[in-house]
C-alpha cells in the first residue's frame, strides 16, 4: 500500500509551493530521509526528504507547477498494509486550500449566524463596504478570507501593474489564455515591487545620447586582446564600471529614501549594482556586490556569471539582495529611450538604449556616428535635476572617452 506524503507547511502558515525539481521518478527505490524534491515557497527553496523507504508510485505534480499545502506530493509503496499519511502536526495545522482540502476540517453548522472571519478581515470588509453576513467564505469551514473580501468589493482592490521594463526575449512572450490569472512567482514579485515603486517614488528622468565612437573602438580592441574574459567586455560592462565610479563620486545617488512618505535618507556603505535581466520566468535583478572595487575584467566576469545564473535560474538569495543601484540595458532588446522604474529601496536607475549609427552634428556638419542613448531615472525626493544631470554626465563622460577609466575618480 501507498504511503501518501502530502505537501507540508514547512514554514509558518505557507499555503502553497512550486515544484522546482524532482530528484526521483516513478519506480525509483528511495530511502528514508532521501531528498525527493526541491520546492520553492514564498520564503525559500527547500528540499523535502522522504518520510519512508519504498518505491515511488506517483508524483503529485509536474516540475514548474504549484501545489497547495495538503495536496498529494508523492505516493510511496512502503510495504505497509494500510494507507498512511504524513500530515501536519497540531502546532502548525493551518491548511486553507480552495480546492479539496485533503483532511477536510469537519463541516460544522455555525452555532450562531455570525460570519466567520478574522478581526482584520472584518475591518477590511468595513473599509470596503462589503457585507459579510451574505458571504460564504472559501477558507476552512467557510471562513471568509481577505481574498474573499477583495473579490466581493465593489471595485477590485487587487493590483496587477505590468511595467514597461520587464519585457522578455523568451519564448511565449506575451502569450496567455483568455481569462483572469493570479500574478504569482516572479510575476507577482515584479507586480508588487513596481506598484510600490510607481506609487511611492516621484520619478524624474534625464536622457541624452553619448557619442559612442571611442567606446565601441575601446570595446572592440579589448575583445581582440589575448586575455581570458576579454570577449565578455561589453558596453554594459564598461557602463557598470563607469557607474560605480560615478556612484562613489555622488553617494546620494547610491542612497534611497526610507519609510513612507519618506522619513530619512539612507546612504549605504557599499556600492552593489543590480543588473536587470530578462529571463524566461520574468524580470530578475541579480546583484554584483562591491562593484566599485572591480576592474573591467572582473566586472565582465561577475556580470556574465550572475546574468548567466539568473537565466538558468541558479541564483542564491544573496545574489538577489542588497542592490543599491540598478542598471537596465533595455537597449539589448532594441529601443532608444525608456523611462525605467526605480526598484523599491533604491534611489536611481540607469537605462542604456541600443547603440546605433545616428546623425550627429559636429562643427556644423551632420555626420553618422554610433551613439548610446542613456537615461537616468531618479527619486525626486532625494535627487534634484541638477544632481541627476551631473551624475548622468559623469557616467556619459567616461563612456564618451573610456580612457577616463584609467584616471582616479
Partner 1 sequence: MTRPSDEQLRAILVDMVGARAQAGRLWNLQRQGQIGTLAPIDGHEAVVAATAHALDPASDWILPQYREPLALQRFGPEVLDQYMLYNIGHPDGSRLPPSVRVAPLQISLATQIPHAVGLAWGMTLRHQPGVTTVFFGDGSSSEGDFHEAVNLAGVLRAPVILLCVNNQWAISTPLHQQTAAESLADRAVGYGIPGVRIDGNDAAAVFDAVDEARQLALGGGGPTLIEANVYRLGAHTTADDPTRYVPAEDLRAARTNDPVHRLVSHLADLGLWDDGAQAEIEAAALVRIDEAFERAMARPLAADAVFDHCFLTDTPRIARQRATLLAAGPHGHSISPRSTDE
Positions that interact with partner 1 (CB under 8 A): 4-12, 33, 43-44, 46-51, 82-93, 102-106, 108, 111, 316-318, 321
CB of 2 to partner 1, least distance (A): 10
Please classify residue 271 by burial: count the beta carbons closer than 10 Å to its beta carbon, then call 0-12 exposed, 13-18 middle and 19+ buried: buried
Q: How many residues does the chain have?
A: 409
How many angstroms separate the CA atoms of 162 and 184, rounded? Answer: 13
Half-sphere exposure (Cβ direction) of 179: Cα atoms closer than 13 Å: 4
The three cell numbers of residue 217 are: 573602438
Catalytic choice (150, 205, 380, 404) = 380
Q: Which is nearer to partner 1, 192 or 393 (CB)?
A: 192
CB of 322 to partner 1, least distance (A): 10
Q: Which is nearer to partner 1, 104 or 129 (CB)?
A: 104
From the DSSP assignment, how many helices (H) and strands (E) are in the chain? Answer: 7, 19
Q: Which is nearer to partner 1, 318 or 362 (CB)?
A: 318
CB of 249 to partner 1, least distance (A): 27
Q: Which is nearer to partner 1, 39 or 241 (CB)?
A: 39
3-state secondary structure 12-24: CCCCEEEEEEECC
CA neighbor of 67 nearest in space, from 5, 23, 19, 13: 19
Q: Which is nearer to partner 1, 84 or 380 (CB)?
A: 84
In the residue annotation, 380 being an active-site residue is answered as yes
CB of 26 to partner 1, least distance (A): 20
Neighbours of 16 (CB within 10 A): 17
> 3-state class of 356 per DSSP?
strand
CB of 101 to partner 1, least distance (A): 11
Q: Which is nearer to partner 1, 209 or 319 (CB)?
A: 319
CB of 337 to partner 1, least distance (A): 35
The three cell numbers of residue 374 are: 542613456
The three cell numbers of residue 389 are: 544631470
How many angstroms separate the CA atoms of 252 and 262, rounded? Answer: 15
How many angstroms separate the CA atoms of 241 and 243, rounded? Answer: 5
Neighbours of 2 (CB within 10 A): 20
Active-site residue list: 380
Amino acid at each position: 500500500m501507498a504511503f501518501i506524503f502530502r505537501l507540508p507547511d514547512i514554514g509558518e502558515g505557507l499555503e502553497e509551493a512550486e515544484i522546482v525539481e524532482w530528484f526521483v521518478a516513478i519506480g525509483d527505490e528511495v530511502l528514508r530521509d532521501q531528498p525527493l524534491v526541491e520546492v520553492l515557497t514564498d520564503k525559500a527553496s527547500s528540499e523535502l526528504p522522504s518520510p519512508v523507504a519504498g518505491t515511488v508510485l506517483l508524483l503529485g505534480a509536474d516540475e514548474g507547477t504549484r501545489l497547495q499545502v495538503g495536496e498529494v506530493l508523492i505516493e510511496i509503496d512502503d510495504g505497509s498494509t494500510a494507507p498512511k499519511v504524513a500530515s501536519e502536526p497540531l502546532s502548525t495545522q493551518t491548511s486553507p486550500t480552495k480546492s479539496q482540502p485533503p483532511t477536510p476540517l469537519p463541516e460544522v453548522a455555525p452555532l450562531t449566524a455570525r460570519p466567520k472571519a478574522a478581526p482584520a478581515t472584518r475591518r477590511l470588509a468595513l473599509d470596503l463596504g462589503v457585507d459579510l453576513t451574505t458571504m460564504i467564505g472559501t477558507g476552512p469551514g467557510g471562513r471568509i478570507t481577505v481574498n474573499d473580501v477583495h473579490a466581493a468589493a465593489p471595485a477590485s482592490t487587487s493590483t496587477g501593474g505590468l511595467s514597461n521594463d520587464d519585457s522578455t526575449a523568451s519564448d511565449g512572450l506575451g502569450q496567455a489564455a483568455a481569462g483572469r490569472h493570479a500574478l504569482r512567482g516572479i510575476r507577482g514579485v515584479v507586480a508588487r515591487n513596481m506598484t510600490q515603486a510607481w506609487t511611492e517614488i516621484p520619478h524624474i528622468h534625464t536622457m541624452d545620447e553619448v557619442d559612442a565612437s571611442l567606446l565601441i573602438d575601446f570595446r572592440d580592441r579589448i575583445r581582440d586582446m589575448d586575455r581570458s574574459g576579454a570577449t565578455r567586455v561589453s558596453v554594459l560592462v564598461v557602463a557598470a564600471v563607469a557607474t560605480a565610479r560615478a556612484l562613489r563620486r555622488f553617494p546620494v545617488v547610491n542612497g534611497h529614501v526610507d519609510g513612507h512618505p519618506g522619513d530619512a535618507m539612507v546612504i549605504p556603505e557599499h556600492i552593489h549594482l543590480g543588473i536587470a535581466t530578462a529571463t524566461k520566468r520574468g524580470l530578475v535583478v541579480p546583484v554584483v556586490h562591491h562593484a566599485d572595487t572591480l576592474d573591467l575584467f572582473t566586472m565582465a566576469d561577475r556580470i556574465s556569471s550572475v546574468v548567466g545564473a539568473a537565466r538558468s535560474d541558479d541564483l542564491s538569495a544573496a545574489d538577489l539582495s542588497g542592490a543599491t543601484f540598478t542598471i537596465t540595458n533595455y537597449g539589448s532588446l532594441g529601443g532608444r529611450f525608456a523611462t525605467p522604474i526605480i526598484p523599491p529601496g533604491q534611489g536611481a536607475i540607469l537605462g542604456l538604449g541600443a547603440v546605433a549609427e545616428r546623425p550627429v552634428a559636429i562643427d556644423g556638419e551632420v555626420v553618422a556616428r554610433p551613439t548610446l542613448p542613456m537615461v537616468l531615472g531618479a527619486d525626486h525626493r532625494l535627487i534634484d535635476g541638477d544632481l541627476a544631470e551631473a551624475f548622468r554626465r559623469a557616467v556619459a563622460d567616461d563612456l564618451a572617452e573610456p580612457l577616463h577609466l584609467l584616471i582616479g575618480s
